[in-house]
């Protein structure tokens, strides 16, 4: 129970950070999806059950605070966490490329699924233009953040073991 409450507080903190970036810098077109990054990293490190539980929780939080239509982020994030959890125990934890690559692919899939489920974008959007201007740069941004945070996590783990 303690672990779940702690991770719930982390999800809330990440959502607040995501919301604050949009409020403080309203001219930004790209806002990183911190919850997606966190969920994919948890799913890779701790497996499907853990990743999908926090993906559903983070998706509900995002649905409530970021979207007028409840229910898009929850199934999309849960599906992404399941796909990311397929990488669990398939690579060494010290591999710095797998989590950023997984987040890159997860961001692409997440945004495409989001667009397909969002009904007002279904027939009125130029998907190629949207992919070039928003989805691909967002995937690169999320990948960069993941690389830095995963490297920090590994250094913290190594420091924690040594001292």
Domain spans of the chain, in order of start: 33-155
Question: Which among 60, 109, 63 is positioned nearest to 86, based on CA atoms?
Answer: 109
Q: What pLDDT does 144 receive?
A: 96
Residues 58-76: tens digit of each pLDDT:
999 998 887 756 678 999 9
Spatial contact of 13 and 23, defined as CB atoms under 8 Å apart: no
22-44 tens-digit pLDDT: 889 888 888 999 999 999 999 98
Are the CB atoms for 141 and 126 separated by under 8 Å? Answer: no
Q: Which two tokens stand for residue 161?
A: 């073991």
Hunting for tokens 């920090």 — which residue is that?
A: 152
């Amino acid at each position: 129970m303690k672990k779940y409450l702690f991770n719930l507080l982390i999800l809330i903190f990440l959502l607040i950070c995501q919301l604050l970036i949009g409020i403080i810098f309203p001219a930004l077109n790209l806002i990183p999806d911190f919850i997606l990054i966190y969920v994919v990293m948890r799913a890779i490190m701790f497996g499907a059950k853990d990743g999908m539980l926090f993906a559903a929780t983070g998706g509900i939080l995002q649905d409530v605070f970021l979207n007028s239509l409840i229910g898009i982020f929850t199934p999309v994030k849960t599906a992404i966490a399941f796909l990311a959890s397929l990488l669990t125990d398939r690579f060494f934890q010290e591999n710095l490329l797998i989590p950023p690559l997984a987040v890159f692919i997860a961001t692409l899939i997440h945004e495409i699924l989001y667009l397909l489920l969002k009904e007002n974008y279904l027939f009125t959007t130029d998907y190629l233009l949207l992919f070039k201007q928003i989805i691909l740069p967002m995937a690169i941004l999320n990948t960069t953040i993941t690389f830095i945070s995963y490297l920090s996590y590994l250094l913290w783990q190594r420091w924690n073991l040594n001292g």
